[in-house]
């Protein structure tokens, strides 16, 4: 990828800055070749990856190096785009929002600093991946389970900071953070919560500070660079029971939500309950052309044939209970009785007990896997995906309303419909997966237009995305419009006060420092 | 419709599970394949343990039942090769430059790997390991 300089910098200034950055991290960790820029671009970009070009990447190994880089970035006015491991696939990967930003790749800061098996937490640097932590827990025989996302290639801290979700009782990953250390945009270093006291022994077990509590200020944020954090982990259960129901009809989702959400809210079910539509199962069986070889959405009659042929319901509920056997059995009786009021077919039951093998594909048991990314192969070619992800109340009426709306919009665009709802508590995360071939320009143009319509129409109905791709960060931010976008105005006042030079992730989530506000513009750089 | 192909890929998907369990006749669920721990020392220097680097850096996807293994197994079977060729360590047709090019540029569903994901020295060692002595 050709060099796109940071705004307002001359080539000579840029080269001088890189030389100074190299004096901090060593020349081998300043990555500024065309090949490096390609690798840090959005490899899943809907359209040309050069829309969000980095100018270089720097990879520090310690908090001291991060602080030195931030001070230099202020001196040279080089915007930095921090990534933990840069695997935010579908949301921009490692690429920056502002063209020419330097990616700050924290992947080398990958120390597991502490694991407390009794209290159930770990203290991690941002470069620690889900695979790294899982293997550490296995090797040390530590009886703790992680909450892993669908694609577990990335960072434990990075995923939590980006409001990622998992599928165990600890499925709200940002809620698991407890005690954050962050470098501020001027190079200062803070610790949140009780960590604001030097050597406080309860930093990673008590979730508040004394006075205002700033932890989530650093999530989906450009207010600081998180250099370590405490993460709560779930005690490994004695047993676990998986209950699987195939839910026959699309319209059944209403009663499914109204049955399961109250059980989740009451604590009978404690996991985040993932309910994917049929396409989520069939993507693992082959490519689209194996099932339907014509352009346009797979027609209804063919969907019905496929569901029959592969013995799939339109939805699947694979619910998991955790704990001592007596508790699990009692909870299972309540859940099965509730479901039986609507569905005569009993669930498939899979018991797991301590010592049994764990299915490596089962993310509800905290095992990291990259296999769900196989869905990229569904379309064929250089496959990729975008997720449209609004949050709605966990009621049958709200979920059905959301389903009908996105179903119609996606159907009108003649695109395959692949949705899931995850009941995380009083809400359901709806992810509509849009898959495309990166070399199909017409298909990408259709996806982008479709994404625009989904955001606009869903906002009109009173719902917003919880997370989005670089190209729509401003557009989604604009949907938060209470009192003339008061939240954006607050964020930008804080941002500009903390970061007058605007060097830290300008434009992240649509929050711009005054220094670069004029470069926002319409959702795309 | 290519129903033959569907049957094939379903069979291949099951192969990953069989591979993880140690044989095609024991088709339980695949178990997690532990990667080698990260090698200590200077990642920018040469002469490291290539097998361990491959396991640690590429093992997210290229150990038994990994995403890359699953997709490559499908490709290999469709090309008339044994399913075991889905594992890169079983391949006899990989060349050093090819491995380096695929890692740096990506291929199909595989994204390019940065030089933090795997350094030039590490990739050179892995490429030589996978190429089994073939220079090009």
**Taking the domains of chain B in order of start, what are their residue ranges?**
3-27+44-131
Q: Is B67 in Cβ contact with A293 (below 8 Å)?
A: no
CA distance A494 to A223: 8
β-partners of residue A359 are B31
Q: Which residues on chain B are in Cβ contact (under 8 Å) with A139?
A: 34, 37
Q: Which residues on chain B are in Cβ contact (under 8 Å) with A244?
A: none
Residue B66: Cβ-neighbour burial (10 angstroms; 0-12, 13-18, 19+): buried
Confidence of residue B134 (pLDDT cuts 50, 70, 90): low
**Interface test mutation site (partner A, options B16, B111, B113, B117, max chain A beta carbons within 10 A):** B111
Asked which of A18-22, A392-396, A468-472, B44-48 is least confident by mean pLDDT, the reply is: B44-48
Per-residue pLDDT at A238 exceeds 50: yes
CB A515 within 8 A of CB A502: yes
Task: Give the pLDDT score at B8.
Answer: 31
Contacts of A198 (CB under 8 A, 6+ apart): none
Strands in A248-364 per DSSP E? 273-276, 315-323, 348-353
Residue matched to tokens 């093992």: B59
- Please name the member of A40, A138, A362 whose beta carbon is closest to the beta carbon of B34: A138
Collapsing DSSP to helix, strand or coil, A124 comes out as strand
Strands in A155-220 per DSSP E? 177-183, 189-191
- Interchain contact A284–B (C-beta under 8 A): yes
Task: Give the pLDDT score at A244.
Answer: 97
Per-residue pLDDT at A523 exceeds 80: no
- Note the pLDDT tens digit of each residue in A14-42: 999 999 999 999 999 999 999 999 999 99
Q: Which residues on chain B are in Cβ contact (under 8 Å) with A59?
A: 116
For strand A102-105 and strand A56-58, is the pairing parallel, antiparallel, or unpaired? parallel
Q: Dihedrals φ, ψ of A223, to 5°?
A: -95, -10
Section A431-455 average pLDDT: 92
Closest CA to A246 of A273, A275, A268: A275
CA distances to A32, A59, A231 from A14, in Å: 11, 17, 37
Collapsing DSSP to helix, strand or coil, A304 comes out as helix
Q: Which residues on chain B are in Cβ contact (under 8 Å) with A44?
A: 111
Confidence of residue B3 (pLDDT cuts 50, 70, 90): very low
Per-residue pLDDT at B131 exceeds 60: yes
Task: Give the pLDDT score at A415.
Answer: 92
- Note the pLDDT tens digit of each residue in A471-520: 999 999 999 999 999 999 999 999 999 999 999 999 999 999 999 988 88
Q: Is A40 in Cβ contact with B114 (below 8 Å)?
A: yes
Closest-CA distance of chain A to residue B65, Å: 8
Closest-CA distance of chain A to residue B120, Å: 10
Closest-CA distance of chain B to residue A31, Å: 8
CA distance A28 to A198: 34
Residue A497: Cβ-neighbour burial (10 angstroms; 0-12, 13-18, 19+): exposed
Section B110-125 average pLDDT: 96
Closest-CA distance of chain A to residue B135, Å: 22
Q: Dihedrals φ, ψ of A179, to 5°?
A: 90, 105
Q: Which two tokens stand for residue A300?
A: 């209804």
- Interchain contact A293–B (C-beta under 8 A): yes
User: Looking at the annotation, which residues of A are catalytic?
Assistant: 91, 466-467
* In CATH, B3-27+44-131 is 2.60.40.10: no
Residue matched to tokens 């056997």: A325
- Interchain contact A401–B (C-beta under 8 A): no
The pLDDT > 90 percentage for chain A reads 86
Q: Which residues on chain B are in Cβ contact (under 8 Å) with A57?
A: 114, 116
Collapsing DSSP to helix, strand or coil, A225 comes out as strand
Q: Is B115 in Cβ contact with A31 (below 8 Å)?
A: yes
Q: Which two tokens stand for residue A47?
A: 């359209």
- Note the pLDDT tens digit of each residue in A97-139: 999 999 999 999 999 999 999 999 999 999 999 999 999 999 9
Section A262-279 average pLDDT: 96
Q: Which residues on chain B are in Cβ contact (under 8 Å) with A42?
A: none
The CATH topology of domain A239-467 is Vanillyl-alcohol Oxidase; Chain A, domain 3 (3.40.462)
CB A374 within 8 A of CB A285: no
Task: Give the pLDDT score at B13.
Answer: 33
B115 against B132, higher pLDDT: B115
Closest-CA distance of chain B to residue A114, Å: 17
Domain boundaries, chain A: 112-235, 239-467
CB A8 within 8 A of CB A77: yes
Q: Is A359 in Cβ contact with B109 (below 8 Å)?
A: no
**Interface test mutation site (partner B, options A133, A309, A371, A382, max chain B beta carbons within 10 A):** A371
DSSP A247: E
A456 against A379, higher pLDDT: A456
Per-residue pLDDT at A147 exceeds 50: yes
Task: Give the pLDDT score at B27.
Answer: 57
**Interface test mutation site (partner B, options A59, A135, A363, max chain B beta carbons within 10 A):** A135
Q: Is A153 in Cβ contact with B9 (below 8 Å)?
A: no
Task: Give the pLDDT score at A499.
Answer: 98
Per-residue pLDDT at B40 exceeds 60: yes
Collapsing DSSP to helix, strand or coil, A392 comes out as strand
Task: Give the pLDDT score at B133.
Answer: 67
Asked which of A84-98, A293-307, A369-383 is least confident by mean pLDDT, the reply is: A369-383
Please identify, in words, the CATH class of the domain defined by A112-235.
alpha beta
Q: Is B67 in Cβ contact with A369 (below 8 Å)?
A: yes
Average pLDDT, chain A: 94
Section A251-259 average pLDDT: 98
Between chain A and chain B, how many beta carbons pairs sit less than 8 Å apart?
119
CB B8 within 8 A of CB B2: no
- Please name the member of A35, A38, A374 whose beta carbon is closest to the beta carbon of B67: A374
Q: Which residues on chain B are in Cβ contact (under 8 Å) with A299?
A: none
Closest-CA distance of chain B to residue A115, Å: 17
Closest-CA residue of A relative to B45 is: A28
CA distance A61 to A443: 41
Residue A308: Cβ-neighbour burial (10 angstroms; 0-12, 13-18, 19+): exposed
Confidence of residue A456 (pLDDT cuts 50, 70, 90): very high
pTM of this structure: 0.93
- Please name the member of A44, A105, A285 whose beta carbon is closest to the beta carbon of B10: A285
Residue A159: Cβ-neighbour burial (10 angstroms; 0-12, 13-18, 19+): buried
Collapsing DSSP to helix, strand or coil, B38 comes out as coil
DSSP A399: H
* Angle at the Cα of B48 from the Cα atoms of B46 and B92, rounded to 5 degrees: 100
CA distance A238 to A354: 6
Per-residue pLDDT at B22 exceeds 70: no
Q: Is A371 in Cβ contact with B65 (below 8 Å)?
A: yes
- Interchain contact A202–B (C-beta under 8 A): no
Section A298-312 average pLDDT: 94
Q: Is B6 in Cβ contact with A286 (below 8 Å)?
A: yes
CB B16 within 8 A of CB B30: yes
Task: Give the pLDDT score at A384.
Answer: 82
Closest CA to B57 of B132, B115, B134, B136: B115
- Note the pLDDT tens digit of each residue in A345-372: 999 999 999 999 999 888 899 999 988 7
């Amino acid at each position: 990828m050709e060099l796109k300089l940071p705004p307002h910098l001359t080539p000579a200034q840029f080269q001088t800055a890189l030389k100074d950055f190299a004096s901090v991290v060593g020349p081998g960790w300043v990555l500024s070749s065309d090949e490096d820029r390609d690798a840090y671009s959005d490899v899943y970009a809907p359209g040309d990856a050069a829309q969000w070009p980095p100018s270089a990447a720097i990879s520090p190994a310690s908090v001291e190096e991060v602080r030195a880089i931030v001070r230099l970035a202020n001196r040279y006015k080089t915007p930095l785009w921090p990534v933990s491991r840069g695997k935010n696939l579908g949301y921009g990967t490692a690429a920056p929002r502002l063209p020419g930003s330097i990616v700050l790749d924290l992947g080398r800061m990958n120390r597991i600093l502490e694991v407390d098996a009794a209290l159930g937490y770990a203290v991690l640097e941002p470069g620690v991946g889900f695979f790294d932590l899982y293997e550490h827990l296995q090797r040390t025989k530590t009886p703790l389970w992680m909450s892993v996302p669908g694609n577990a290639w990335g960072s434990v801290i990075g995923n939590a900071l980006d409001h990622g979700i998992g599928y165990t009782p600890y499925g709200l990953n940002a809620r698991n953070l407890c005690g954050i250390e962050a470098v501020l945009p001027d190079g200062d270093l803070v610790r949140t919560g009780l960590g604001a006291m030097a050597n406080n022994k309860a930093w990673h077990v008590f979730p508040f500070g004394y006075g205002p509590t700033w932890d989530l200020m650093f999530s989906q944020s450009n207010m600081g660079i998180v250099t370590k954090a405490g993460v709560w982990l779930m005690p490994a259960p004695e047993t676990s029971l998986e209950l699987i129901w195939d839910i026959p009809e699309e319209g059944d989702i209403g009663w499914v939500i109204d049955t399961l959400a109250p059980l989740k809210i009451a604590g009978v079910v404690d996991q985040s309950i993932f309910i994917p539509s049929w396409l989520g199962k069939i993507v693992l069986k082959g490519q689209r052309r194996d099932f339907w070889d014509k352009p346009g959405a797979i027609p209804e009659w063919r969907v019905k044939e496929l569901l029959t042929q592969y013995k799939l319901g339109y939805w699947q509920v694979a619910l998991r209970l955790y704990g001592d056997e007596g508790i699990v059995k009692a909870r299972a009786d309540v859940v099965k009785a509730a479901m039986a009021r609507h569905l005569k077919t009993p669930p498939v039951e899979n018991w797991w007990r301590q010592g049994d093998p764990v299915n490596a594909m089962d993310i509800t048991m905290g095992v990291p896997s990259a296999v769900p990314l196989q869905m990229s192969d569904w379309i064929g070619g250089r496959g990729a995906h975008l997720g449209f992800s609004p949050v709605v109340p966990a009621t049958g009426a709200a979920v059905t309303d959301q389903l009908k709306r996105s179903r119609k919009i996606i159907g009108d665009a003649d695109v395959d419909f692949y949705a899931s709802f995850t009941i995380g508590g009083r809400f359901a995360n709806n992810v509509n997966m849009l898959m495309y071939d990166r070399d199909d320009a017409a298909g990408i143009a259709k996806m982008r237009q479709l994404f625009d319509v989904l955001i606009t129409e869903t906002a009109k109905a009173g719902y917003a995305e919880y997370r989005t791709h670089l190209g729509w960060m401003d557009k989604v931010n604009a949907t938060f419009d209470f009192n003339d976008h008061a939240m954006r105005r607050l964020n930008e006042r804080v941002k500009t006060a903390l970061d007058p030079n605007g060097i830290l992730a300008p434009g992240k989530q649509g929050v711009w420092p005054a220094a670069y506000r004029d470069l926002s513009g319409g959702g795309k750089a | 419709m290519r129903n033959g192909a569907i049957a094939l890929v379903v069979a291949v998907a099951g192969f990953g599970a069989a591979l993880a369990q140690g044989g095609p006749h024991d088709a339980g669920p695949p178990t997690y394949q532990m990667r080698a721990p990260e090698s200590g020392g200077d990642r920018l220097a040469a002469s490291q343990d290539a097998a361990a680097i491959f396991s640690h850096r590429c093992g997210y996807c290229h150990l038994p039942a990994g995403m890359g293994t699953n997709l490559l197994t499908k490709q290999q079977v469709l090309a008339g090769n044994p399913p075991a060729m889905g594992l890169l360590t079983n391949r006899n047709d990989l060349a050093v430059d090819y491995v380096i090019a695929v890692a740096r540029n990506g291929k199909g569903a595989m994204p390019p790997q940065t030089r933090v994901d795997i350094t030039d020295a590490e990739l050179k060692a892995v490429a030589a390991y996978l190429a089994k002595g073939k220079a090009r």
